[in-house]
Amino acid sequence: MSEILAKLNSMPTFHTPQGSIYFEQRGSRADPPIVMIHGLGCQIVHWPESLIEGLRSEGFRVVMMDNRDAGLSFDVEQSPPEIAKLIEAMDDPTAVDPSYSLADMAEDVVHLLDHLGQSGAHLVGVSMGGMIAQYVALNHAKRVFSLSLLMSSTGNPEIPTPAPEVVGALGTTVVSPTREESIEAARAANRIFGGPYFDSCEVGIGRFVETAYDRASRPYGVRRQLGAILSDGDRRAQLATLKTPTLMVHGDQDPLVDKCGSIDLAETIPNSRLRIIEKLGHDLPEPIIPTILQEIVTHIRNQPVAR
């Protein structure tokens, strides 16, 4: 952690009551803002340049942040959940007493908006980031111009769970062996998550494993974030009251978060639209980026202009 703290001293951060959050931004301050919220254990470096630059070139100000317990954002002192408890929580959310909640992580996004002096923003959330974005909209509706939820879910316990081999791959991302073993395990996991059609280590976020490890390896943070996800429960009753225009994008080959998660979101959130993409797994592969980019841009431009 000392190396991470040293980096923070010279990097763009802001302070919340809980700790410092690292962020970066692209584009003009005059452009409509988009806040990008990544998934479990992911950092800013896991965003494909083609997606970020694509949004910027379409006339948006793109703001990225490291979630708490990931990248160069603040650490949490509380011990992480035991792996056995995380596995138990897949069936029983009460099995884990999380260090923080998804709603707490959503407050970090609101603090970012405050720091930037923004009344609100369009939110793009991937996987866990989509769950965090849901809470920003639920608890701070006026500050969310639109939602784009990629590969996310409602927390409905009836949604199909991952196959045992996928759960096993997820388990390899929450341990901390040597650098070489950790990188190889993360690559293998990303190849599984990415599905059979696109090699994540060639065209997806598996390409960034080594860069991310050397920037900040935070296995305990991954476990605490996973605890926040698994303990959260069913959000459908709350989401049914949401008035924020919402786009869901999901792959039909997602082995980690079943596409039924986004179908459930579309059936729950009143003002929403769903796009299922063929051959896409739980990843952001280059061949699919143009389609994802077009969906997000079209969705945001269909909303009233907000500054």
Encode the chain in three state secondary structure.
CHHHHHHHCCCCEEECCCCEEEEEEECCCCCCEEEEECCCCCCHHHCCHHHHHHHHHCCCEEEEECCCCCCCCCCCCCCCCCHHHHHHHCCCHHHCCCCCCHHHHHHHHHHHHHHHCCCCEEEEEECHHHHHHHHHHHHCHHHEEEEEEECCCCCCCCCCCCCHHHHHHHHHCCCCCCHHHHHHHHHHHHHHHCCCCCCHHHHCHHHHHHHHHHHCCCHHHHHHHHHHHHCCCCCHHHHCCCCCCEEEEEECCCCCCCCHHHHHHHHHCCCEEEEEECCCCCCCCHHHHHHHHHHHHHHHHCCCCCC
Alpha carbon distance 279, 282 (integer Å): 10
CA–CA dist 86, 234 (Å, integer): 17
Give the separation between CA 60 and CA 32, rounded to whole angstroms. 5
At 5 the pLDDT is 46
Give me the pLDDT at residue 212, please.
97
Q: How big is the chain by its Cα radius of gyration, in Å?
A: 18
Strands 272-277 and 246-251: parallel
Residue count of the chain, please give it: 307
Residuewise pLDDT in 10s, the chain (307 residues): 555 444 444 468 899 999 999 999 999 999 999 999 999 999 999 999 999 999 999 999 999 999 999 999 999 989 999 988 998 999 899 999 999 999 999 999 999 999 999 999 999 999 999 999 999 999 999 999 999 999 999 999 999 999 999 988 888 777 767 899 999 999 999 999 999 999 999 999 999 999 999 999 999 999 999 999 999 999 999 999 999 999 999 999 999 999 999 999 999 999 999 999 999 999 999 999 999 999 999 999 998 765 5
Number of Cβ within 10 Å of residue 205's Cβ equals: 25
CA gap 131, 39 in Å, rounded: 9
Dist. CA 40–CA 282, nearest whole Å: 12
Please tell me the number of Cα atoms within 13 Å of 269 on its side-chain side: 28
On whether the pTM is more than 0.85, the answer is yes
Q: pLDDT value at position 121?
A: 97
